[in-house]
Structure 1
Amino acid sequence: MPKGETKRRPRTRAALLQATLETFAESGFHAATIEQICERAGYTRGAFYSNFSSKEELFLALFDAHSERIVQRMTALVDSIASEDLTLRALVDVLCEVEPAEREWYLVTTEFTLRAIRDPQAAWVLAQHDARLRAQLARALTEHLARAGRTLTVEADELARLLIAIREGGLAQSYVEPDELPPGRLEQRFLEPLLTALTADSRTA
């Protein structure tokens, strides 16, 4: 592969992924076409197919990138808190943050999840990516809770499942009734007592 093409490839992929996110959020996964994505990104179909084979592969690449960004952002925010100030309340404040752009991603991932519920093959593939996200989240939670002086009394993977369910369920209600339930409000109210119940104080053990 020519050197110029090697250097351009990450930029091409990044542009295609951003165009995909915008197109999926605007038109929906099923209605969006590869032509629309290429036009928005400013690339040809040839450039598309040299990086991705299908819309499903695009979504999964978006899923992995979003998962990694969320976990990295959470870790950076927690790491910025001094150890003596890292309490469950401080950790909950980090977990409750919802960026405005999250609504766009929620529209995209919800439609693909519905597709996976109907299609066993899509469900199997999505489950593999879900599992990787949970593993990242479980490791991060275990480390952050340890810094806060807490030890999990349940499986970290199960807690990750629960926190994802709470976040996705809360966002669904928030996006339908944004004035009644701002994003993150449920987590702000209930995550601290939940984490208290599911952890033990390791500093007094």
Structure 2
Amino acid sequence: MPKGTTKRRPQTLARLLDAALEVFAESGFGAARIEDVCRRAGYTRGAFYSNFSSKEELFFALFDAHAERELERIGRLAAATQDHDLSVARIAALLAHIGPDERTWFLVTTEFTLYAIRNPEAAARLAEHDAKLREEAAGLLAGLLARVGLRPRGDLTEFLRVVIALREGALGQSYVEPGALEPGALAEKFLPLLVASVTEPL
């Protein structure tokens, strides 16, 4: 775990995270070396180990930062949307949105998921981070549904498993067939139907 704080630590962390994202996307989590991340960031191994205990911990820092940005994006856009402009289709579009840098994150998280499937301890830790993200997203989604006069018929965290499966499965197809399926298009098309099927009027 990071030890102590300095004025330069936030900058060091940011550079290490940016470098890790690039190296993990290029080489895959398994093949990427801590030395590669340090070299890309312009730091020594000492700088790495003063902030992270392992390559796995570095990935989870990336995971949490990405999750926080996504939740903030949805919350910010939702807050900027007037109630009369909010609809099931609009909610679905917020959930389906694919940013310009999503391909890089897709490569990183897919590689790590395969690594975690082969490593039970990493899988357990990934499951914890996934569960935390689903819980926070469920609260956000519940608020959006209430604004359009709907409530969930069941557990929203379970529904979000389906949303994530649709997003990630569709993204894989989009990146394999970029000319046939635009990223986010499949989720945006079918998510309104899914949202309607698991909600009812207040």
- Give 1:188 shift: 1.8
Give the C-alpha shift of residue 89 in structure 1.
Answer: 1.3
| 8 Å CA contact retained: 2:170, 2:183 | yes
- Distance in 1 of aligned mates of 2:33 and 2:193: 45
For 1:85 and 1:100, the matched residues in 2 are separated by 25
1:22 corresponds in structure 2 to 22
Deviation per residue, 1:108-151 (Å, 9 max, x gap): 11011011111111111111111111111111111111112211
Runs of 4+ aligned structure 1 residues displaced above 4 Å come to none
Question: Partners in 2 of 1:118 and 1:30 — Cα distance?
Answer: 11
1:17-96 to 2 correspondences below 5 Å: 17-96=17-96
Percent identity, aligned pairs only, is 55
In the alignment, is the contact (CA less than 8 A) between 2:30 and 2:115 conserved in 1? no
Instruction: Give the total of aligned pairs.
Output: 199
Q: What displacement does 1:99 show? A: 0.8
Q: Which runs of no fewer than 5 residues in structure 1 stay unpaired?
A: none
- Is 2:108 aligned against 1:108? yes
Alpha-carbon contact 2:74-2:94 (below 8 Å) kept: yes
The amino acid that maps onto 1:161 is R
Matched residue, 1:199: 199
What is the CA RMSD across the aligned residues, in angstroms? 1.2
Q: CA deviation at 1:93?
A: 1.8
Q: Note the C-alpha offset of 1:98.
A: 0.3
Helix, strand or coil at the partner of 1:151? strand
SS of the residue corresponding to residue 200 of structure 2 reads strand
Amino acid across the alignment from 1:110: T
Give the 3-state SS of the residue equivalent to 2:12 in structure 1. Answer: helix
After superposition, the C-alpha distances for 1:147-195 in whole angstroms (9 at most, x for unaligned) are 1221111101101111111111111111111111111111121111111
Instruction: Please list every run of 5 or more consecutive structure 2 residues that lacks an aligned counterpart in the other structure.
Output: none
Match runs of 1:75-154 below 5 Å: 75-154=75-154
The alignment partner of 1:141 has SS state of helix
- Secondary structure of 1:51's partner? coil
Amino acid at match of 2:122: A
Q: TM-score when scaled to structure 1? A: 0.94
Q: TM-score, normalised by structure 2?
A: 0.95
